[in-house]
Amino acid sequence: MTNTLRPRAGDPACSQRGVTMLVVLILLSVTLLGGLAFARLTEVGTLASGNTAYREASIQASEVGLNTVFQRIRDDIVDEEAGLAGWYWPSPQAADAQGIPAVDFDAAPEIVVGAYSVRYIAERMCEGAMPVTEPLRQCLVKQIPQDTKSRSAGKEELDPPNSRQFRVTIRVTGPKDTRTWVQSLITKG
């Protein structure tokens, strides 16, 4: 009786035994690399979503700073020619290439909104020597058009009232030490 289950030496079935194992190992390696690439792609998408969420939250936190500085400009600035405690300057400060004033934001007032730190400064948009002698020439002003229909005949037309402009720069520092900068113009008057 011969054993038919075992191939004999020199038989073609005997020489192909290790090739199947090698093909399976190569296919497993390719599958593993594909799985790692897919996992990395998913991780990048999650990080991008998180960064967008951080940015949106910091923009919302900057709104608190903008409302606060608007209130302070309206209520606290009596003499617009004098600076105030590291947050207000009567003329624009030197700025970097992105337009951010070169001032010490760490000395500016801070508002904590959740996990975000909001600091702000304000600058009156007036150039030249202080005090301002010609506000229409030296300062950025907003002229409000007047209703000309209600003019009486023979009466002199008045110049429109002028509103002073202030540039507000807000720095929001968030989780992972991320920073968002927001600038806005505020009108007083």
Say whether pLDDT at 172 is over 80.
Answer: yes
Per-residue pLDDT tens digits for 92-129: 888 999 889 999 999 999 999 989 999 999 988 877 66
- H/E stretch holding 38: helix 17-76
**91-124 as b/e: b if 16+ CB within 10 A:** beeeeeeeeebebebeebeebebeebbbbbbbbb
Q: What share of the chain is helix, strand, coil (3-state, %, to 5)?
A: 40, 25, 35
What value does the mean pLDDT take over residues 1-19?
61
Given a contact cutoff of 8 angstroms between Cβ atoms, the answer to whether 169 and 101 are in contact is: yes
Domain ranges (residues) in the chain: 28-188
- What is the pLDDT confidence band of residue 44, given thresholds at 50, 70 and 90? confident
What CA dihedral angle connects 124, 76, 159 and 146, to 10 degrees? 110
Q: Which residue has the higher pLDDT, 4 or 106?
A: 106
Q: What is the distance in angstroms between the CA of the first residue and the CA of the last residue of the chain? A: 113
Nearest to 117 by CA among 184, 182, 62: 62
Kindly report the backbone phi and psi dihedral angles of residue 167, in degrees, each rounded to the nearest multiple of 5, phi listed first.
-95, 125
- Between CA 111 and CA 164 the distance in angstroms is 25
- Between CA 91 and CA 140 the distance in angstroms is 11
Q: Which residue has the higher pLDDT, 160 or 101?
A: 101
Query: Over the chain, what is the mean pLDDT?
Result: 79
Tell me, what's the pLDDT at 132?
60
Tell me, what's the pLDDT at 163?
74
